[in-house]
């Protein structure tokens, strides 16, 4: 079986075309992360100096009033009564940052972080006192550490990154079955039923292997970029996910690193789903280009709701205006909920399930919504495998 997988790789994976596609997607990965995170990377060093000094001086939640007084004092020093800045003051060195202007902005962020933590802590205490914690995924927390929320948000909010490994396996596996038909070797390699089944199983394992490898590769680039460009360290990865913008209601105990691990696992499963679909299309069409185009159409249709949610309904780049929506927001999110329940391809990004614990009521019981796309993914993979193994006599299918 291992030898068969090596042979499959040599036939249609380890080619110059695959290398070119890998390079293009690698540049796309770096470009996508830079587009999402350049705002933080540009001022990373200045921000690190500020939050390091805050940590060294052991600034905590109890110092909120002190920080607010410093913000008020800086405002009087930096701005005139009419709101215009005093240029001679804004460039002077600050107590925590390189300049007073930077310090003024960063102190405001630190106060916002304290407000976020205090609100979270009070909500947790309220939910635990009402005996609701275990029912909805929360438990009492004691969060006390002030962190750079913009840094954490930059490291997490690359929401469409999971499309890259999916696109790679579509390109790689579109020739997985059609290559024998296009080279007129199908009748030879399918000479016996046992031989056909063995070849199909080898191709399936080969497809799963490349699905996993592609996720390791692209998510490895992702983690490396966060480490070197953004400056994410171990203490940052262990920060609570609720400090990230958009995840304030996430379940208790979920850290940024835990979320990323879940994202990688879900992305790998979505990649395997699109991989077996691509291989099935390669077998049915017997033409690599047709399989490639059909798989791309299926994949694009599968991710349209997620792209719309990121670009239109949850965009931080566009001014909020009802005129740019295809549907009103409440109606769109009702449809998005239905789509998330039944579309395993959308697992390439799990933000929807991580933002807050989501349940669905069936009878007298509540079930986590994420169970349903996971089950559908497994069922869909099983159906595709059975269709791949099914052949008529003589191997004509």
User: What tens digit of pLDDT does each residue of 352-391 get?
Assistant: 999 988 888 887 888 889 999 999 999 999 999 998 887 5
Residues in CB range of 99: below 8 A, 6 or more apart? 90, 91, 92, 93
Phi, psi dihedral angles at 359 (to 5 degrees): -130, 160
Average pLDDT of every residue of the chain: 84
Residue 11 burial (CB count, 10 A): 15
What's the Cα-to-Cα distance from 247 to each of 128, 154, 242, 357, rounded to whole Å?
Answer: 20, 13, 5, 11
Q: Measuring CA to CA, which residue among 242, 52, 65, 54 is closest to residue 143?
A: 242
Residue 112 has pLDDT above 80, yes or no: yes
The predicted model gives 213-231 an average pLDDT of: 93
Residue 127, pLDDT above cutoff 80:
no
Structure tokens at 58: 């052991």
pLDDT at 397: 46
- Segment 101-120 shows an average pLDDT of 91
Average pLDDT (186-203) is 67
Whole-model pTM: value is 0.86
Residue 124: per-residue pLDDT: 80
Helix (H, G, I), strand (E, B) or coil at 367: strand
Nearest to 177 by CA among 57, 39, 287: 287
At residue 179, φ and ψ (nearest 5 deg) are -65, -35
Mean pLDDT of 203-220: 93
Does the pLDDT value for residue 93 go beyond 50?
yes
Mean pLDDT within 222-231: 91
**Within a 13 Å sphere around the CA of 389, how many CA atoms are in the beta-carbon half?**
12
pLDDT band, residue 266 (cuts 50/70/90): very high
- The residues, ordered by sequence, that sit 6+ positions from 150 with a Cβ below 8 Å of its Cβ are 40, 47, 109
pLDDT at 38: 81
Distance CA 395, CA 186 (A): 8
Residue ranges of the alpha helices (H) in the chain?
Answer: 2-12, 16-42, 44-56, 64-78, 87-90, 100-129, 133-136, 149-156, 163-173, 178-182, 186-189, 193-225, 234-237, 256-285, 288-308, 329-342, 351-354, 371-389
What pLDDT score does 175 carry? 86
Asked if the model's pLDDT at residue 315 lies above 70, the reply is no
Q: What token pair was written down for 310?
A: 């990121």
Q: Bridge partners of 360?
A: 367
- Which of 281, 241, 270, 233 lies closest to 376, judged by CA? 270
In this predicted model, what pLDDT tens digit does every residue of 24-39 receive, in sequence order? 999 999 998 988 888 7
Asked if the model's pLDDT at residue 300 lies above 90, the reply is yes
What mean pLDDT comes out for the span 169-177? 90
Contacts 24+ apart (CB under 8 A), 335-338: 335/305, 336/305, 336/309, 337/369
Q: Which residue has the tokens 């030898």?
A: 3
């Amino acid at each position: 079986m291992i030898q068969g997988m090596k042979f499959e790789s040599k036939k249609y994976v380890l080619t110059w075309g695959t290398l070119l596609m890998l390079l293009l997607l690698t540049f796309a990965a770096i470009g996508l992360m830079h587009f999402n995170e350049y705002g933080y990377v540009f001022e990373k060093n200045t921000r690190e100096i500020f939050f390091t000094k805050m940590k060294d001086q052991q600034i905590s939640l109890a110092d909120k009033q002190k920080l607010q007084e410093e913000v008020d004092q800086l405002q009087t020093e930096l701005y005139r009564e009419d709101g215009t800045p005093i240029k001679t003051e804004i460039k002077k060195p600050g107590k925590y940052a390189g300049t007073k202007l930077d310090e003024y902005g960063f102190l405001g962020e630190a106060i916002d972080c304290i407000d976020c933590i205090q609100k979270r802590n009070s909500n947790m205490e309220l939910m635990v006192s009402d005996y609701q914690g275990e029912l909805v995924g929360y438990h009492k927390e004691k969060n006390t550490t002030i962190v750079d929320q913009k840094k954490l948000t930059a490291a997490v909010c690359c929401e469409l990154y999971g499309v890259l490994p999916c696109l790679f396996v579509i390109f790689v596996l579109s020739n997985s079955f059609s290559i024998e038909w296009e080279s007129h070797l199908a009748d030879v390699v399918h000479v016996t039923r046992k031989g056909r089944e063995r070849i199909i199983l080898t191709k399936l394992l080969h497809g799963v292997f490349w699905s996993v490898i592609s996720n390791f590769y692209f998510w490895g680039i992702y983690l490396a970029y966060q480490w070197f460009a953004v400056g994410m360290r171990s203490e940052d990865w262990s920060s609570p996910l609720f400090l990230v913008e958009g995840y304030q209601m996430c379940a208790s105990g979920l850290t940024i690193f835990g979320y990323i691990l879940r994202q990688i696992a879900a992305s790998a499963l979505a990649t395997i789903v699109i991989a077996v679909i691509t291989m099935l299309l390669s077998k049915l069409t017997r033409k690599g280009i047709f399989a490639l185009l059909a798989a791309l159409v299926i994949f694009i249709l599968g991710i349209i709701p997620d792209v719309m949610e990121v670009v239109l309904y949850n965009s931080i780049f566009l001014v909020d205006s009802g005129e740019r929506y295809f549907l009103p927001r409440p109606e769109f999110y009702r449809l998005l909920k239905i789509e998330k329940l039944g579309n395993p391809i959308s697992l390439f990004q799990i933000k929807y399930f991580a933002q807050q614990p989501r349940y669905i009521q069936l009878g007298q019981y509540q079930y986590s919504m994420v169970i349903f796309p996971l089950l559908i993914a497994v069922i869909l993979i099983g159906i595709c495998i059975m269709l791949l193994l099914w052949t008529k006599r003589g191997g004509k299918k």
